[in-house]
Amino acid sequence: MQIRHCFALDLKDDPKLIEAYKKYHQPDHIWPEIIESIKGSGIEALDIYLVGNRLFMIMDVDDSFSFEAKQAADLNNPKVVSWEALMWQFQQQLPWANGDEKWLLMDKVFMLSNEKAQINK
């Protein structure tokens, strides 16, 4: 069974930094170790969208995925640690983030499926 998680994060509101961030995420610029880390954790698909300086990430995971296991693996992977430090040069916390939170998990508030609208409370 596939599960979807959606996240938000802001980039620094600087057009040059935003363009550099986008370039790092092009297929020929993203580090292969990052792709390996994503795929190896049970993430089946990952998309990042941008509007203004707000990022929106959609992550589809399989049953083996665990936020805790992914975080532990990332902290023990020097390439992922380096990538995250590099990306933090472009990113900034959302105003309501706590501590060192970066990507914030979003709550689903509406879903349209099989011609039925559902509202999550």
Output b/e per residue, 36-46; b: 16+ Cβ within 10 A: ebbeebbbeee
- The residue among 78, 66, 5 whose CA lies nearest residue 41 is 66
User: Could you tell me the residue range of the domain that residue 31 belongs to?
Assistant: 3-118
The structure tokens listed for 17 are: 């930094």
Confidence of residue 115 (pLDDT cuts 50, 70, 90): low
18: domain CATH number is 3.30.70.1090
Q: Which amino acid is at 2?
A: Q
Coil vs helix vs strand at 27:
coil
pLDDT digits (tens, 9 = 90+) for 21-36: 999 999 999 999 999 9
Q: Against a cut of 0.75, is the pTM above it?
A: yes
Domain tally, the chain:
1
Determine which of 2-6, 30-34, 80-84, 113-117 has the lowest per-residue pLDDT on average: 113-117
Helix (H) or strand (E) holding 87: helix 78-88
Separation between Cα atoms, residue 45 and residue 38, nearest integer Å: 9
